[in-house]
Structure 1
Amino acid sequence: MIYVVGSVNLDYVAHVQKLPRPGETVLGSELRKTPGGKGANQALAARRAGAAVRLVACIGRDDDGIAATASLAESGVDLTSVQKCDMPTGVALIQIDAAAENSIAVLPGANSCLSAGVVRDALSGLKAGNTVILQQEVPQEATRTAIEMARAAGAFSVLNVAPVLPESASLACLADMVIANETEFQAIFGQTPTAEAAQEWCQTTGRRLALTLGADGAILAGGDAPRHIRPPKITPVDTVGAGDTFVGYLAAGLHAHMAPEQALDVAIRASAQACLYSGAQSAIPWIDQISVQNLSR
């Protein structure tokens, strides 16, 4: 079983010709509401990668909460640990430009209700062989509690340090695997994001690290030597959710005892596939939809 402790949002996605600079107003062409939240996205990705997944999260008692969990239920994610609270369901405001780049502002809402107590109850049955996936769109105490419980139970913890928060550096040293992009790596570890820097951090902490590099693929550090795998060549339509697809697929691959390099390769291919379609969750592929022919290098 993979447990995902994290956020559930309803995404308000606006398509614009260019992302506005501070103080600038730009006109958009379309507004859509789609299910999202890093926790929900990663849970769906792990499920579509073939794992049994339970989501630990909080939503509001509103229509947004129903809409935000519909895809999860349809895909078979276990929602028995998703609690309802009196705050509105979290919202993400997403702008996507003509080059498929995006900017995102998150209003946590009900995600703020995910307390250490909620996590302790939901993970009370955690055991060795389980995997726990975490991000940082929920209160830090919940994330820390989940990591500590995973360690105590002998479960494998995967921390996606997004967004970067004050405790990110200390939490990263507790997780079994850390997933960070270039900006997050530099902000947390104070080094230029290179394979050598990633490997040095892993050797110092005894942890493993997946450093994502956007169109240049990802580096897996922490073994004998870092492995850099580049993605297939594609023309992206929408990069929203690609990072979450990577996290869910990588965690699912490692949970299924794939060789780390193979799990990384599948995760990169899945995230590339997700970039070919609009939306976050709607673009996340099932494992049998990752076409080697369409995504050949």
Structure 2
Amino acid sequence: MASEGLVVLVIGSLNMDLVARVDSLPEKGETIFGRSFARFPGGKGANQAIAAARMGARVTMVGCVGTDDSGKELQLGLVENHVDASPVRSVDECTGTALITVDRNAANTIIVVPGANDCVTFDDIDTALAGFKTPGILVLQHEIPAQAVCHAVQSAKEKGWFVILNPAPARELPDQVMQYVDILIPNETEAAVLCKRPIQSVEDAAGAARELLAKGVKTVVITMGRQGALCCTNDSLRHVPPLQVSAVDSTAAGDAFVGALSCSLARGETLESALQIASTAAALSVTRPGAQPSLPSWEEVKQYLR
């Protein structure tokens, strides 16, 4: 059951994840044996939409899938998780696919083949935004065309939306777009790309966050896996410590974090409270295999917090 609060509009990717579990990640040119293989519905956009919906948000998803079986399965998965998938278009391209390798320590490597995700247009974005009488929270990632992301950020902000951008996978972001972003949520790898320097510690992350704030972003949250997360504004800096769990698969941890944070803010939580909830959701997600199957519900997060 969706809670009262602002709507969460997710514009992004839908992928079918092909996951191989291995003892260790392969080196360049190396052939290794896998321990298991599975298919999971995924894509950063769809993951974050479902993560927010399971936490209780009213969620609408915008994106593109192919006319193949994977596309139908991904759309059905959104509907079954109470996400409004009516704006998701079917196009004459293969559905996006992610090739994921997960080692025994839950570390992963991911190759994304965009497919239909590259078909998201300005019209898709404008039509979606025009469908809401009241602005809410917009959530974006980098698995759709860069021009579409920039257009969505600027158009939504001009209409009064609160904009959350997860710049993943890592790619440079035009400085002029930064001023429209309310919360930027990179991991340490993505922050390093944006700032063009390595990030290996909480101190490095703090420096990168301040650099991104100087470009106009209102709040920067850098997720750092086992080191927790760092939240930086022009007035404050806080470290959100990690939760101690037994990790199985870290594939959708960042998506769980973004979805839970957006839902919490839509519900009216303070940023401090939303960060704690998001950190808990991310920690619970790594204890389970797969992307969308690992995303926790609000009841599970509340029970853990208690």
Shorter-normalised TM range:
over 0.9
Aligned to 1:144: 150
Pairs within 5 Å for 1:277-292: 277-290=288-301, 292=303
Alignment counterpart, residue 59 of structure 1, candidates 61, 65, 69: 65
Alignment counterpart, residue 258 of structure 1, candidates 264, 269, 287: 269
Greater displacement, 248-257 / 123-132: 123-132
Q: Which secondary structure does the structure 1 equivalent of 2:273 belong to?
A: helix
Greater displacement, 215-224 / 6-15: 215-224
Alignment counterpart, residue 233 of structure 2, candidates 219, 222, 225: 222
Aligned to 2:101: 95
1:189 aligns with 2:195: yes
Q: Please list the CA deviations of residues 160-201 of structure 1 after superposition, one character each: whole Å capped at 9, or x if unmatched.
A: 010122436553443111001111111102354322441353
Pairs within 5 Å for 1:62-141: 62-126=68-132, 128-141=134-147
Alpha carbons of structure 1 residues 171 and 127: separation in structure 2 relative to 1, 3 Å: farther
Q: Which runs of 5+ in 2 are unaligned?
A: 1-6
Q: How many residues align?
A: 295
Greater displacement, 241-250 / 127-136: 127-136
1:162 aligns with 2:168: yes
Q: Which secondary structure does the structure 2 equivalent of 1:205 belong to?
A: coil
TM-score (norm 1): 0.94
Matched residue type, 1:38 = K
Alpha carbons of structure 1 residues 32 and 145: separation in structure 2 relative to 1, 3 Å: same
Alpha carbons of structure 1 residues 198 and 128: separation in structure 2 relative to 1, 3 Å: farther
Alpha carbons of structure 1 residues 224 and 167: separation in structure 2 relative to 1, 3 Å: closer
Runs of 4+ in 1 over 6 A off after TM superposition: none
* Aligned-residue CA RMSD (Å): 1.8
Aligned to 1:231: 242
The whole-number CA distance in structure 1 between the counterparts of 2:257 and 2:116 is 25
